[in-house]
């Protein structure tokens, strides 16, 4: 068996202000003292030591990053020069502190230039994709081994908690976590605080693709995950560039520990080791958590996968070969499909993805099924069971072999009889040499398809990259760099009902006309994949108030949005007219979905503000359902290159139900519709009035 020895290192006193990875060890090096300050993470041996440090250096603490979660783990973040850190080294050298630079960690995503023929047929009805079959995890395959027992195991699997530390999970798809925890910073204070809606939570689609492998719903449509019943905790740490400071990763791990999670999926990595990171990983492992991580796509096992407490997962192709982007050597502990895998994508569709990021969740999901058979088993038992049951491959880079869920169930009882904690070689269990099935799939990496059910789009030639541009537009109004934050300053961009202008005059905002105008602005850009640097500003519609028009007419030009150049905004996705158009559709999408967060009242007439749940989907939950339905209307407009209409607002509330607990009211809904189009409003009066009027 290829298995790295598990070990528990007693934390020694170590102060490393500059980290160098040498055979996985962090070394203290000579420092170049400079006046420029940096962020550092401080980990103390206990809370008393942390408090002592914070009392002495309180003015150096970065408040917005030194969260309660970090402090529960005896950590904080400081901003100091190297010279100041060197002074701490001499002062606290015997007090059990570790200080390391707050480096950046990146979610793993493999780019591919591979060109394949796209899917020709819709994903309806539900299909089992090749990757699920490759690891023998389809319900049909499991039933051949476990019979009726699998039903009980699947039911019990809802008791197993899996946390995904990633970029978030798209709210419009087939994966619904039991809890969404967003650790990325919010901007503003009080009623001006900008909290990201779950609809825009995952900008890149990375976390959504990971989550789909684990638990896409078993609803007779589209795709299905390996364990649709898993309790999934969505811990968002990565920003729109799939980056996060190490301090936020540590927060995520602490959050998982606070929720008593059984399995932690980590599809991210860094080539640099960190003593603090390793210590936190060890804490989680010794709490009983099974830690599973992507091994990396750059020819070397990255951290946390390289730590002995973590299962490092490499990637295979549909031909059961180790993918060429997966790691070399024998560092992967186990391998699973990770090349051209069809999984959950943005806006309720599906994307085709590459990378060990996609391999890791196969193992996490399999572990949750096996653990459900007997929840008293340890994390090490499940880990060794997965390793022992893996199908041996000829490639030496495959570690213990290809994940095989059915075989794991087959040998479960036999393995339980011989299992010993810490043991990694089990000659009593025959090696898995079952026949391997290969597959022929025609998926285009980066392509996107609707599921025909929950999905928003029909097949449209859009890529996951294009949809990510829409998401970028969807979060733009909440980002200070554009100068458009605050529903009290720019209600036209935040779905709010009024604002106070520069002269101190309070004015009403028609969020419906503002949305329609924003879609017109999107269409002001040519639908071209080149950059012509042209933009035609739409004229003010007759129904639009002059003050609303003046407030937003100049936020976009051919060369910039919100004062930031398109070259900067679209640097990673491509500066094209089409992407500018997609971005502006995202801005429109933001204002109409924010409407259901910022302008709603309870059925009893209480305004739902930030303090009583404006940004919580479970508060008056029909707000959230209507926001999702509105998102579908906007995306359809985008696909068809048409401007918004009042029909979008009518369709958005088609899912609304009057309910004393889950219902809501937007008292201005009918009036704003009548201002835009009196005839349309009169024809559809009942639909608008049902969310406007109290009975």
The answer on pLDDT for 265 being more than 90 is yes
Is there a shared CATH topology between the 21-102 domain and the 132-448 domain? no
Choose, from 123, 138, 166, 648, the residue flagged as catalytic: 166
Q: Is 166 a catalytic residue?
A: yes
Residues 190-209: pLDDT tens digits? 444 456 678 888 988 999 99
- How far apart (Å, rounded) are the C-alpha atoms in residues 308 and 282? 9
Q: What is the band of 118 on the pLDDT scale with cuts at 50, 70, 90?
A: very low
Q: Between vectors from CA 370 to CA 365 and to CA 372, what angle results, nearest 5°?
A: 95
**pLDDT tens digits for range 228-246:** 999 999 999 999 888 999 9
Which among 326, 357, 447, 668 is annotated as catalytic?
357
pLDDT at residue 95 in the model: 61
Q: Which residue out of 170, 206, 344, 478 is catalytically annotated? A: 206
E strand spans, 295-392: 310-316, 334-337, 341-344, 349-353
pLDDT of residue 195: 60
Strand 21-22 to strand 25-26: parallel, antiparallel, or no bridges (unpaired)? antiparallel
pLDDT at 31 > cutoff 50: no
Residue 383 pLDDT: 98
| Listed range (504-508, 529-533, 655-659) with the worst mean pLDDT | 655-659
Residue 184 predicted with pLDDT over 60: yes
Beta bridge partners of 104: 245
* 21-102 topology per CATH: Alpha-Beta Plaits (3.30.70)
pLDDT of 30 above 50: no
Three-class HEC string of 176-197: CCCEEEECCCCECCHHHCECCC
Q: Quote the CA–CA distance of 519 and 515 in Å, as a whole number.
A: 6
Q: What are the DSSP calls for 545-568, one per residue? A: -HHHHHHHTTSB-SSEETTEEHHH
**Could you tell me the residue ranges of all domains in the chain?**
21-102, 132-448, 462-689
H or E element, residue 541: none
Whole-number Å distance between alpha carbons of 596 and 593: 6
Q: Which two tokens stand for residue 645?
A: 């209409």
206 is catalytic: yes
Given a contact cutoff of 8 angstroms between Cβ atoms, the answer to whether 382 and 370 are in contact is: yes
Looking at the chain, the whole-number percentage of residues with pLDDT higher than 90 is: 58
The domain made up of 132-448 has a fold known as Rossmann fold (3.40.50)
Q: Answer yes or no: is pLDDT of 171 > 80.
A: yes
pTM above 0.75, yes or no: yes
- Residue 357 known to be catalytic: yes
Q: Tens digits of per-residue pLDDT, 339-380?
A: 989 999 888 888 888 899 999 999 999 999 999 999 999 999
- Which own/partner pairs from 19-24 qualify as long-range (CB within 8 Å, at least 24 positions apart)? 19/100, 19/101, 19/103, 19/272, 19/273, 19/274, 21/271, 21/272, 21/273, 24/273, 24/306
Please give the full DSSP string across 25-61, using - where no structure is assigned.
Answer: EE--------S-EEEEEEEESSHHHHHHHHHHSGGGB
Residue 356: CB atoms within 10 Å: 32
Phi, psi angle pair for 482, to nearest 5°: -95, -10
**What's the pLDDT band for 539 if we cut at 50, 70, 90?**
very high
């Amino acid at each position: 068996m290829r298995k790295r020895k598990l070990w528990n290192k007693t934390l020694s006193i170590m102060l490393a202000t500059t980290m160098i990875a040498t055979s996985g060890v962090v070394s203290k090096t000579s420092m170049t003292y400079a006046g420029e300050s940096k962020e550092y993470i401080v980990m103390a041996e206990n809370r008393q030591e942390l408090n002592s440090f914070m009392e002495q250096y309180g003015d150096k603490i970065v408040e917005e990053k030194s969260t309660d979660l970090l402090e529960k783990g005896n950590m904080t973040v400081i901003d100091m020069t190297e010279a100041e850190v060197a002074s701490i080294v001499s002062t606290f050298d015997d007090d059990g502190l570790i200080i390391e630079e707050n480096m950046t960690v990146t979610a793993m995503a493999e780019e591919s230039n591979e060109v394949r023929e796209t899917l020709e047929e819709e994903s309806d009805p539900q299909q089992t994709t090749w990757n699920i079959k490759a690891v023998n995890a389809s319900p049909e395959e499991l039933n051949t081994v476990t019979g009726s027992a699998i039903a009980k195991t699947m039911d019990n699997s809802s008791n197993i908690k899996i946390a995904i530390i990633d970029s978030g999970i798209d709210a419009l798809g087939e994966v619904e976590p039991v809890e969404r925890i967003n650790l990325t910073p919010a901007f503003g204070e009080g009623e001006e605080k900008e909290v990201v809606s779950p609809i825009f939570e995952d900008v890149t689609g990375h976390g959504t693709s990971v989550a789909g492998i684990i638990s896409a719903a078993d609803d007779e449509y589209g795709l299905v995950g390996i364990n649709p019943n898993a309790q999934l905790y969505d811990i968002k740490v990565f920003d729109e560039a799939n980056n996060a400071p190490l301090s936020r990763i540590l927060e995520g791990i602490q959050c998982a520990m606070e929720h008593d999670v059984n399995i932690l999926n980590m599809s991210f990595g860094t080539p640099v080791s960190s003593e603090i990171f390793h210590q936190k990983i060890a804490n989680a492992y010794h709490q009983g958590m099974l830690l599973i991580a992507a091994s990396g796509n750059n020819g070397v096992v990255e951290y946390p996968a390289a730590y002995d407490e973590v299962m490092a997962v490499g990637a295979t192709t549909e031909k059961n070969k180790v993918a060429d982007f997966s790691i070399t050597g024998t560092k992967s502990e186990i391998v699973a499909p990770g090349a051209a895998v069809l999984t959950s994508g943005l806006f309720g569709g599906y994307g085709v993805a590459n990378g060990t990021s996609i391999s890791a969740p196969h193992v996490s999901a399999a572990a949750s099924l096996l653990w459900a058979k007997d929840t008293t088993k340890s994390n090490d038992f499940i880990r060794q069971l997965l390793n022992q049951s893996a199908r041996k491959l000829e490639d030496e880079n495959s570690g213990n072999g290809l994940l095989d869920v059915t075989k794991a169930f087959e040998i479960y009882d036999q393995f339980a009889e011989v299992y010993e904690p810490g043991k990694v070689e089990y000659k009593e269990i025959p090696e898995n040499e079952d026949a391997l099935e290969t597959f022929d799939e025609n998926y285009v990496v980066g392509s996107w398809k609707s599921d025909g059910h929950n999905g928003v789009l029909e097949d449209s030639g859009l890529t996951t990259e294009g949809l990510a541009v829409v998401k970028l537009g969807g979060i733009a109004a909440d980002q200070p760099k554009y100068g458009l934050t605050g529903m009290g300053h720019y209600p036209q961009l935040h779905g709010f009902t009024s604002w106070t202008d520069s002269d101190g005059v309070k004015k009403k905002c028609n969020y419906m006309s503002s949305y329609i105008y924003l879609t017109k602005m999107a269409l002001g850009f040519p639908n071209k994949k080149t950059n012509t640097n042209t933009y035609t500003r739409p004229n003010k519609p007759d129904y639009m108030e002059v003050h609303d028009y003046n407030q937003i007419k100049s936020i976009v030009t051919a060369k910039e949005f919100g004062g930031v150049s398109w070259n900067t905004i679209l640097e990673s996705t491509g500066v094209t007219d089409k992407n500018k158009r997609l971005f502006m559709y995202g801005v429109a999408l933001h204002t109409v979905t924010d409407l259901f967060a910022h302008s709603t009242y309870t059925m009893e007439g209480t305004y739902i503000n930030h303090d009583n749940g404006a940004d919580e989907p479970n508060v008056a939950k029909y707000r959230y359902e209507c926001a999702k339905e509105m998102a579908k209307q906007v995306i359809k407009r985008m696909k068809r290159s048409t401007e918004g209409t009042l029909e979008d607002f009518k369709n958005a509330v088609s899912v609304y139900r009057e309910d004393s607990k889950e219902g809501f009211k937007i008292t201005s809904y009918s009036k704003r519709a009548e201002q835009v189009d009196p005839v349309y409003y009169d024809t559809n009066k009942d639909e608008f009035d049902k969310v406007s009027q109290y009975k």
